[in-house]
Amino acid sequence: MGRLGVWKEALQQHLTSQRYFKTLKLLTLSMGGLALVAAGSVFISGWLIDGVEAANGNQQTATDRSSLGDYFGGVSALFSGTALLMLVITLVYQQRELRLQRQELTLQRAELVASRNELRRSADSDLRGHHVQLTQLQLENPELMAVWNDYPGVPETQARQHLFANLTFSHYLLMLKWGSISDAEIIAHADRLLQSPTFRAYWDASSAAKEKLPRGTDEYHLFNLFNLAMTRTDRETGGASPRRHPD
């Protein structure tokens, strides 16, 4: 998925470069055309003036007929107007190309952000998979529980239940990170889980460690949501409610 995004970015950069060179080429041709029109105007004016002088005998005679020069001035103005119009058209086209390039750059930035988010989600998923595998090894080999020592002094059966409950908590954490579940939905699920004595025992055993999590993280936010659900549960059952901490 990441490699495809790199290819798409390279292709878009290539297309942008082609448009840039196309615009530059058009501008160069327009400026060259303007120079040719100007040179042509000078040449034609000089040729016409020489022709008039030759037809009338000398420069004085041509000067006496200066009204003819006004006509040549009109022709020159026509060429100049045409050149100016070509320049304006080129500038308008260039502005349009620059606007399209800005739009393409905006799309490229959005695509890069989406690619980074997808890579992050993929990394989170891989990390989650490794965590599940390690927990599965502990469930299948109880002697490995002593390595992590998450629940010292807890009977083997209860420790295995705690490990599975922790997987459940991690599952909701991943859903929260991906935006697949809302706070209200998490509280509803947590309320149902905390009514289970087995999950409640896990929560009581792990709350002290979770309370030390860095504030502002997704895991600490999830911890507060579960505490909020437990507060509601204890109100209904008359039990003691934990204190909710600010995120």
**DSSP one-letter string for 116-183:** HHHHHHHHHHHHHHHHHHHHHHHHH-GGGHHHH-SSTT--HHHHHHHHHHHHHHHHHHHHHHHT-S-H
Number of H helices, E strands in the chain: 8, 0
- Rounded to whole angstroms, the Cα distance separating 151 from 133 reads 19
Highest mean pLDDT among 62-66, 114-118, 134-138, 210-214: 210-214
Give pTM, 2 decimals.
0.52
Instruction: Give the pLDDT of residue 131.
Output: 80
Instruction: Give the pLDDT of residue 104.
Output: 86
113-141 per-position pLDDT tens digit? 888 888 887 887 788 788 888 888 888 88
